[in-house]
Amino acid sequence: MVVEASLLLPFFLVFVFLLITLVRIHIAEMALQTAVSETTKQFAAHMYPVELIYKGVKGKVENSNAAANWEDIKRKIEEAKDKLDGAEEFIGQFEAYIPDPLVAVLGYVKQIREQADRLKKDGKEAIRDKIIDPAVQTVFTSVLYDMADQSVLQKDRLTVTGVNFPDFGDRSDSLMEIEAEYIYYLSLPFIQKEIVLKRKASERAWLGA
């Protein structure tokens, strides 16, 4: 009986470890999905004021390139927020109430537009917003991690792999999309493996008519 128990004990322990690991993976999946969904929802819900600023800037600077427009948008919002921080009374500038995470990633749109402008000058097809470089990944990953359950997800394992911003000039492309992945290290007796968890969220941005 003792011999049988000693033979079965390792298998029982592996089974218990496996169950615990499966639960932890599920918790990580839910945390990743929640972070991606909430970030996407927040961006989509506040896209209308960004669009208004974009149209205002574009109307004043018709001859400038798209990248310059986005730089003006980011600067205008930051100036409004500075005024809000130092005021004791309500300030009627809607730019000041655009969430900081959205302001932080406007530099991503600017960067993409700059690349698109360069390609257009070279006679090449403009790139889409879903192309991500390391600098853009870093910014979006930081924003996503701030929205995540940090007791579950670790920042160095989290990566934003895809982003699509609504096109203010084309209502057929009004989706805000974020894709992200999280590396979970599976550690069991005789098993060491990386599991890549991937999640995506899409929200139709609130834009004007």
Domain residue limits, the chain: 2-204
Cβ pair 205, 47 in contact under 8 A: yes
In this prediction the pTM is: 0.69
Instruction: Give the residue, 192 or 77, on which the prediction is more confident.
Output: 192
Q: How far apart are CA 150 and CA 12, in angstroms?
A: 32
pLDDT the model gives residue 25? 92
Q: Mean pLDDT check: name the lowest of 20-24, 27-31, 161-165.
A: 161-165
Q: Per-residue pLDDT averaged across 63-86, rounded? A: 56
For 170, the token pair is 């084309």
Residue 204 token pair: 């139709």
Q: Rounded to an integer, what distance in angstroms lies between the CA atom of residue 101 and that of residue 135?
A: 16
Pairing of strands 191-204, 158-164: unpaired
Q: Which of 52-56, 79-83, 89-93, 100-104 has the lowest mean pLDDT?
A: 89-93
Instruction: Over range 151-155, report the average pLDDT.
Output: 93
- 163 falls in which pLDDT band (50, 70, 90)? confident
Give yes or no for residue 66 having a pLDDT over 80. Answer: no
Q: How many CA atoms lie within 13 A of 201 on its CB side?
A: 21
- Residue 58, pLDDT score: 56
In this predicted structure, the answer to whether residue 183 has a pLDDT above a threshold of 80 is yes
- Which SS3 state, helix, strand or coil, does residue 3 take? helix
Hey, CA dihedral for 116, 169, 96, 61, is it positive or negative?
positive
Q: Tell me: pLDDT of 30 over 90.
A: yes
